[in-house]
Structure 1
C-alpha cells in the first residue's frame, strides 16, 4: 500500500512537470504569424523597389544580398536594445538609482546610433547598385519615405 502511494505521488509530480513544460513551450513559441507577415511585408518592399526602379535581375540579386547582410548586422543590435529596455522595466519596478538608469539609457542611445549608421550605409549601398537614372528615382523614394504622412503624428517633447 505504501509503495502504491509513492508511485501515485511520483506520477502526479511527473504529470505536473509535463504540464508545466508544455505550458512553457506553448507560451514561448515563436510568433509565426508575425514572421510570415514580416516576410510578406518584406516581399512587398522588394517588389516596390524592383518595380519603381526597374531593377535588372542582377540588381535584384545584389539588393537581396545587401538586405540579408543589413538585417544580420542590425538584428543583434535590436535584440540588445530590447534587452536594455527590459532591464529598464526591471529598474522601474525595483526603484533603481538615477545613475544606473542613465547608464542604461546611454547604452540604448549608443545602439540606436549604431542602427541608424547601419541604416544609412545600407541605403547608400543600395543606391550605389543603381544606375544614374535609377538613383534619381531612388532619391525620390527616400524623400517620400522620410516625409511625415498626413495622418502620422509627430512626437514632440514637452
Structure 2
C-alpha cells in the first residue's frame, strides 16, 4: 500500500519536470552565469552568460551578453553575442552586437546592428560540403590542361582548333 503511494508521487514529480507553463525564464541584469544553460522553453536574458546556451526561444535584451555558442529554434538579439549563433529564425535588432558566425534559415538585420563574422544559411553549408568533396572533377581538369601544346592557354587552344 505504501509502495503504490510512492510510485504515484514519483510519477507526478516526473511530470512536473516537463515544461507546462509558457512563462519565460528571466535572467536579470545583475546576474552573471558561468556554465551552460539548457531550457526547453523561452529565456529572456538581460544578464551575462559565460558559456554555451541551448534553448528553444532566446531573447537577449539590451543589457544581455552571451560569451559562447548559442543554439536555439529562434533568437532575438538586442544585446551582445561573442561566439557562434545557430538558429532557425534569427532577428538582429539595431542595438545588437554579434561577434561570430551566424548559421540560420531566416535572418532579419536592422540598420545599425554590428556583425563581425560570417552569415551562412544552414541548408547551404551542407551543399557546399558535398560540392567540395567531389574529387572526380580534378582529373578531368588536369587532363584537359595537360593535353597538346603547353605554350597555349586552354582558351587559345580552343581558338586555334576552330581555325
For Structure 1 versus Structure 2, the TM-score category normalised by the shorter chain is: under 0.3
Larger Rg: 2
Larger RCO, structure (CA 8 Å, separation 6 or more): 1
Richer in strand (by share): 2
Q: What's the TM-score once normalised by structure 1's chain length?
A: 0.26
